[in-house]
Amino acid sequence: MAQAAFEELVEDFEFLEEWEDRYRLVIEEGKAMDPLADALKVPATKVDGCASQVWLHATIEGETLHFDGESDAMIVNGLIAILRKLYNGLTLKDVLAVDARAEMGRLGLNDHLSAQRSNGLRAMIERIRSLAAAAA
């Protein structure tokens, strides 16, 4: 069910043997994102539960979810970019069906993120799922 862009990322991660190289790839993914407009960095888009500042802004077109986001931490920006590859373009129903923990596990992220980063990632996933559920 994962998007083609996410599958390509999985392949890139499988090619990299060292976690440090994978970590760099996560950061590069975040750097490649366009910044979120300052007007969208408001309390309504802020994600609670993250150690760093995180904003996620979703739009629903028909039954399809799209979201953008930004963080003040490079690694978290990369996690947002990865979540965009996982979820953007899915129907609301499919967003709710994604097992994000298993999908992120395919990248090895479950084993290599600090407890704070893992909690923040869970908070971002929950925000995305709640946005999809509210719109469904």
Instruction: Identify the top-confidence range among 14-18, 26-30, 106-110.
Output: 26-30
pTM, rounded to two decimals: 0.94
**SS3 of residue 104 by DSSP:** helix
Per-residue burial over 78-103, b = 16 or more CB atoms within 10 Å of its CB, e = otherwise: bbbbbbbbbbbbbebebbeebebeeb
CATH number at residue 22: 3.90.1010.10
| Domain of residue 10, residue span | 4-135
Q: Is 38 exposed, middle or buried (0-12, 13-18, 19+ CB in 10 A)?
A: exposed
**SS3 of residue 28 by DSSP:** helix
Active site residues: 50
Number of structural domains the chain divides into: 1
Which pLDDT score is estimated for 52? 92
Over pLDDT 70: what percentage of the chain? 99
